[in-house]
Amino acid sequence: MGKTALLPLACAILAFWSVYLVKAEDAYKYFTWTVTYGTASPLGVPQQVILVNGQFPGPRLDLVTNDNVVLNLINKLDQPFLLTWNGIKQRKNSWQDGVLGTNCPVPPNSNYTYKFQTKDQIGSYTYFPSTLMHKAAGGFGALNVYARSVIPVPYAKPAGDFSLLIGDWYKTSHKALQQILDSGKALPFPSGILTNGLTQSSFSADQGKTYMFRVSNVGLSTSFNFRIQGHKMKLVEVEGSHVIQNIYDSLDVHVGQSMSVLVTLDQPPKDYYIVASTRFTKTVLTTTAVLHYTNSQTPVSGPVPAGPTYEIHWSIRQARTYRWNLTSNAARPNPQGSFHYGKITPSRTIVLVNSAPIINGKQRFAVNGISHTNADTPLKLADYFNIPGVFSLNSIESAPSGRSPYLSTSVLSTSLHEFIEVVFQNNENAMQSWHVDGYDFWVVGFGSGQWTQDSRKKYNLVDALTRHTTQVYPNSWTAILVSLDNQGMWNMRSAMWERQYLGQQFYLRVYNPVPSLANEYDIPSNVLLCGKAVGRHHP
Ligand SMILES: *[C@@H]1O[C@H](CO)[C@@H](O)[C@H](O)[C@H]1NC(C)=O
Ligand SMILES: *[C@@H]1O[C@H](CO)[C@@H](O)[C@H](O)[C@H]1NC(C)=O
């Protein structure tokens, strides 16, 4: 064989290897999840809960960066159902976000196969039901994205890895809670707090070793403070950001947020309290779990360590200590600090003011005067099939105009590759927690009172961390910067579930007039159609 004959062969081998390498890197992982009702007694009284594959909370979804997930969700409830993947960015793929603006809910006795990738992600996340008040009954779980073997993480591999799903809990069923909200009333104060669906969780670990605790707030409305008796916590990761590894005695975790800490079992062999107690509430609810040293013969003892309860400034000060480690990488090899977000001038500023108006005699929640109502057709499908009359662009203004609040399907238009500043202005006495689907964003500032242009002087434009959910303190503001590099229809919502359910949410349409598969994947071949999209032809 001459040189010329060898070349195609060499190319074929190379092509084979590159395909093989891509496949080897980006594994496919298949799951079948069946959602049913079950009975559990987390607070001592039997109540209906939502199970995933018979489990409450649902199974832990352990993934690796860039995994391709194929997850068939079978709904055996008596109501339409969807899961959303809290913090999974669904790159170019809002088709799989699992909220009512992007997906038709899976009807009872039916199924939908989600197909998504954990593209360039790492960290502790969660999934949970996005429909009705299902989240109040369970159906949630931990979603961990581990680093690929070729990408180093900025800490030694821990001896073990625990997921702690902590949240406020009601003894009332999700349907009864929904009825309260539908009748125009706000929810009562929760009945308690659970850790992994229990009030008596226990975690066994070896003395002298270091473990990772992945802590998420899966509750409906209440921030909590987390601490472990006699132990320090080293914060290493917050929603995909590798942070400066500060040591904390206790940490505030707000609704919808997740963080990972390392804990070294450096104390005498004994059992220790793991504590979560509510923040900013008149009545303080506390729950304990147990850190059990495997060589311990001694049960937990001593007072349950106290934490902050109403100290807002304590919480703000702590939040300001969460900073990007600029030299550390996240899911990709390049250091986080190589993206100089602080040097980019935002193309626009969006000011979002939350409120709790009474509309038509009923309690609602709104943002910029609009209380969102879900359309009968997912906005994403209306956009794709050009179905008129489902939503109008810019139905929410980018700053409040002062008109009296009303109900509407709320969509804010932006362009792909804009870089925007968003100010969450909270003029209520209540805590607020805002989540953005499809993105993480730099949390550049917290301040009290009214945000003004002058507030920008206090922004952290150097090493703010990125995350998917940020708290907004009462009568305060939080400012974020977002690089709109992910085309799609993205839900922005209050992570406080009654607020979300009663309208404190909208959709961010990140759009490019020239359709391109490089920017956004095509509609999935198994897409469910509903509302005005029924009968439309899809590929
Ligand atoms: C339902 O599950 C079947 C496999 O059991 C699958 O082939 C089908 O695509 C699923 N339906 C949807 C809408 O994803
Ligand atoms: C930042 O990350 C680098 C690289 O992983 C690591 O060596 C360093 O210890 C980290 N610094 C802090 C303060 O966490």
Torsion region of 77: left, alpha or beta (phi above 0 gives left; psi -120 to 50 gives alpha)? beta
- Which residue's CA is the closest to the ligand 1 atom numbered 4? 72
Q: Residue 537: its pLDDT value, please?
A: 82
pLDDT-based confidence at 403, cuts 50/70/90? confident
- Ligand 1 centroid–CA 72 distance in Å is 7
Q: Residue 501 burial (CB < 10 Å; 0-12/13-18/19+)?
A: buried
Kind and range of the H or E element at 385? helix 379-385
228 against 21, higher pLDDT = 228
Residue 155 alpha carbon to ligand 2 centre in Å:
8
Distance of CA 109 from the midpoint of ligand 1 (Å): 12
CA of 237 to the centre of ligand 1 (A): 36
Indicate if the pLDDT at residue 2 is higher than 90. no
Tokens coding 358: 């009474």
Q: Is the pLDDT of residue 74 over 90?
A: yes
CA separation for the pair 391, 379 (Å, rounded): 7
Within 8 A by CB and 6+ apart from 114, the residues are 69, 70, 71, 72, 73, 83, 96, 98
Ligand 1 atom showing the smallest separation from residue 113 Cα: 14
| Model confidence at 287: pLDDT above 50 | yes
Among 234, 245, 262, residue to substitute to test ligand 2 (most atoms within 8 Å of Cβ) = 245
Q: What residue segments make up the domains of the chain, in order of their start?
A: 336-533
**Which parts of 405-533 fold into alpha helices (H)?**
497-501
Ligand at minimal distance from the CA of 330 is 2
The residues, ordered by sequence, that sit 6+ positions from 351 with a Cβ below 8 Å of its Cβ are 368, 398, 399, 400, 422, 423, 425, 451
Span 485-501, mean pLDDT?
98
What average pLDDT does this structure show over 160-170?
98
In this predicted structure, what is the pLDDT of residue 10? 44
Q: What pLDDT was estimated at residue 24?
A: 55
Tokens of 244: 């400066």
Among residues 130, 26, 18, 36, the alpha carbon closest in space to that of 70 is found at 26
Q: For residue 164, name the pLDDT band (cuts at 50, 70, 90).
A: very high
Report the chain's mean pLDDT, rounded to a whole number. 95
DSSP string, 59-82: PPEEEETTPEEEEEEEE-SSS-B-
Which residue has its alpha carbon closest to ligand 2 atom 7?
154
Question: Token pair of 438, please?
Answer: 């499809």
The string of pLDDT tens digits covering residues 427-471 is: 999 999 999 999 999 999 999 999 999 999 999 999 999 999 999
pLDDT of 324 reads 98
CA separation for the pair 272, 261 (Å, rounded): 17
* Residues within a 6 A CB radius of ligand 2: 154, 244-245, 325, 327-328
Measured in Å, residue 106 CA sits from the centre of ligand 1 at 11
Question: Using the 8-state DSSP alphabet, how is residue 250 labeled?
Answer: E
Query: Which atom of ligand 2 lies nearest, measured to the CA of 153?
Result: 5
Closest CA to ligand 1's atom 6: 113
Instruction: For a ligand 1 pocket test, name from 106, 112, 525 the mutation site with the most ligand atoms within 8 angstroms of its C-beta.
Output: 112
Residues with beta carbon inside 6 Å of ligand 1?
A: 72, 111-113, 526, 528
What is the structure's pLDDT at 11?
Answer: 43
Tokens 């005005």 appear where?
Answer: 532
Q: How many angstroms separate the alpha carbon of residue 532 from the centre of ligand 2?
A: 52
| Ligand whose nearest atom lies closest to the CA of 75 | 1
**Amino acid letter, 12:** A
Average pLDDT over residues 239-264: 98
State the distance from the centre of ligand 2 to the C-alpha of 218, rounded, in angstroms: 29
Nearest to 171 by CA among 195, 191, 196: 191
In the reported structure, the alpha carbon of residue 153 is separated from the centroid of ligand 2 by a whole-number distance in angstroms of 10
Mean pLDDT of 148-159: 96
Provide the CA 141 distance to its chain's centre, in angstroms.
Answer: 11
Residue 23 in this model has a pLDDT that exceeds 90: no
pLDDT of 518 > 70? The answer is yes
Strands 441-448 and 466-467: antiparallel
Bridge partners, residue 112, by sequence? 73
Mean pLDDT score, 265-292: 98
CB count within 10 Å of CB 357 equals 15
Residue 530 has pLDDT above 90, yes or no: yes
- The class level of CATH for 336-533 reads mainly beta
Q: How far is CA 156 from CA 11, 145, 210, 211, 262, in A?
A: 40, 16, 9, 10, 10
